[in-house]
Homo-oligomer: A and B are copies of this chain.
Amino acid sequence: MPNISMKLLAKELGLSLSTVSKVFTDSHEISEQTKQKVLAMAKQLNYVPNPYASSLRKRKSKTIAVVLPEVADSFFSVAINGIESIAREKGYHVLIYLTHELFDREQAILADFQSGRVDGVLISVSNGTTNDSHINDMMQRGIPVVFFDRVCEETATTRITTNDRESGRLATQHLLENGCKRIAFLTLSESLSISRNRLDGCRQALAAHRLIFQENDLVLCTDKDADNRDIIKRLLQRKDRPDGIIASVEKLTAGVYLACRDLKMVIPKDVKVISFSNQSTAPILNPSLTTITQPAFEMGKAAAAALFNNLKRNNQQYKPETIVVPSVLVPRESTTGVHQG
């Protein structure tokens, strides 16, 4: 049964289009009796008001956009769950956009929002994002933006992060306490704030143990697993090879495990491994993987809640805030050699 138009509904009722329209905006100009009559006929004829007409009237789309680098990473999948749970509660719809780590795609996606498609934006920026002018443009047009996980540090808006620097420090300290002398840091990007912060924490922990981070121990990987396997093999074949590895991004874990297998190196005897990862399979890897686990669901929820607070305030008296939801280090066999329950 197709949707009938408001015009047809008005005709059926013998009322003016404007009267019927006012019923659906719940106008005080219309008597309760007329309202009931219109709503009863609407139900009978199966009339449903068009949400975009309502969006135009109220200048609200009841829609938010979530802009992500990718969804195959379990952090982002779980974060979407958190975002969706809050959006549903608030009666909002969620548009998903993937940048695939491309800055120009991120810019094009945001440019499209300026026309009023969305009321607000949650974004985790791409590896390639080098400036924030596209984000400032949005905010100047009155569309609030909240960062989560991957942020532009100079932008004056709310950001939801985890304690990346502290986690980098803890990961490194954990490797040192388990006997490592030389630690390599695998990353997908040298410019991304979260990578830089995790690396800073690593340097700090080394310095606290009177060790210096060697620049050739900073290893730039790619988004291709096969390439990373080779890159990590070359790292592990160096004369001055590391005895501890920090994978600063979940997707680098497989490369480390496969490179060790290729080289017949045993984790954790020959090299200890810790990964920033939310993968549910960490406990059943061979060996089980020590992780820094990010609070993905909580970060998604906090980001959505912050955005809705902004929308409620209608950008009045906007005070950007930084909310830090801490990560957790879960020690397993890949660093301790100790079998877990």
Contacts and interface: CB of A to CB of B under 8 A. Distances in A.
Interface in A42-99: 48-53, 55-56, 61, 63, 66, 70-72, 74, 76-78, 80-81, 84, 93-98
A73 to B, nearest CB: 8
A55 B84 CA distance: 24
A128 interface: no
Contacts of A40: none
Number of copies: 2
Contacts of A49: 115
Interface in A280-310: 280-281, 283-288
Given A115-B49, A281-B254, A281-B279, A141 B77 contact: no
Interface string A101-122: 0000000000000111100000
Contacts of A185: none
Given A80-B71, A81-B72, A140-B1, A115 B48 contact: yes
A182 interface: no
Contacts of A261: 284
Sort chain A's interface into a size bin. Answer: 35 or more
B116 A3 contact: yes
A56 B74 CA distance: 37
Contact of A287 (B96, B140, B286, B288): B286
A279 B72 CA distance: 10
A169 interface: no
Given A51-B117, A52-B53, 20 more contacts: A2-B140, A2-B141, A3-B114, A3-B116, A51-B115, A52-B55, A52-B61, A56-B56, A70-B81, A71-B80, A74-B77, A80-B98, A84-B96, A95-B96, A253-B284, A254-B283, A258-B283, A281-B285, A284-B286, A286-B286
22 contacts: A1-B140, A3-B116, A3-B141, A3-B142, A48-B114, A48-B115, A51-B116, A52-B53, A52-B55, A53-B56, A71-B71, A72-B81, A80-B96, A251-B280, A253-B281, A254-B280, A254-B281, A257-B283, A261-B284, A279-B279, A279-B281, A286-B287
